[in-house]
Amino acid sequence: MNAEKPGSGTVVNTARWTVRVVSLALVALLVLIGVGESWNSPIPWTRLSPLDLAMFVALGLALFGLLIAWRWELTGALLNIAGTTLFTLGIIAKRGLQFKFFWIEGALAGFGFVFLLCWWSDRRRAKALRKGKEDL
């Protein structure tokens, strides 16, 4: 008899693989932009203000969360959401609320929320499957 996997829901798997592929493309694009911006210039780290450096680390945390969400969805989602929140707070501290591109941070955190929903759905489904086996 084939046992059902906790994550075998079609909608959840479609959402999971969509967010994985798109987030990987986003990480690759941002790394490519970062490499391209610093290719022919001297090491820029010495010129960064403490706030800029903190924002850079926060963005790195958000992107790292997207990468590890492939294996550990909850941990990756929480790291992504925390890093995006810290990055957004840095933008607010630097530019105020007049920044016109907050939708970008919303989209970046959206990846984390989709990973979080996939984790939650799998956990809920596994609980229902365990309960169903107990009733047998």
Helices (H) and strands (E) in the chain, counts: 4, 0
6 neighbors 126 (Cβ within 8 angstroms): yes
Tell me which residue has tokens 């391209």.
36
Report the pLDDT value the prediction gives residue 86, as an integer from 0 to 100: 95
- pTM of the prediction? 0.79
Encode pLDDT of 85-135 as tens digits. 999 999 989 888 777 777 888 888 999 999 999 999 888 877 776 666 665
Give me the residue spans of the domains in the chain. Answer: 11-34+47-135
How far is residue 72 CA from its own chain's centroid? 11
Report the pLDDT value the prediction gives residue 1, as an integer from 0 to 100: 40
How far is CA 60 from each of CA 7, 56, 83, 87, rounded to the nearest angstrom?
Answer: 29, 6, 7, 9
Residue 81: name the closest of 117, 50, 49, 48 by CA. 117
Encode pLDDT of 51-91 as tens digits. 988 998 999 999 999 999 999 999 999 999 999 999 999 99
Residue 118: count other Cβ atoms within 10 Å of its Cβ. Answer: 24
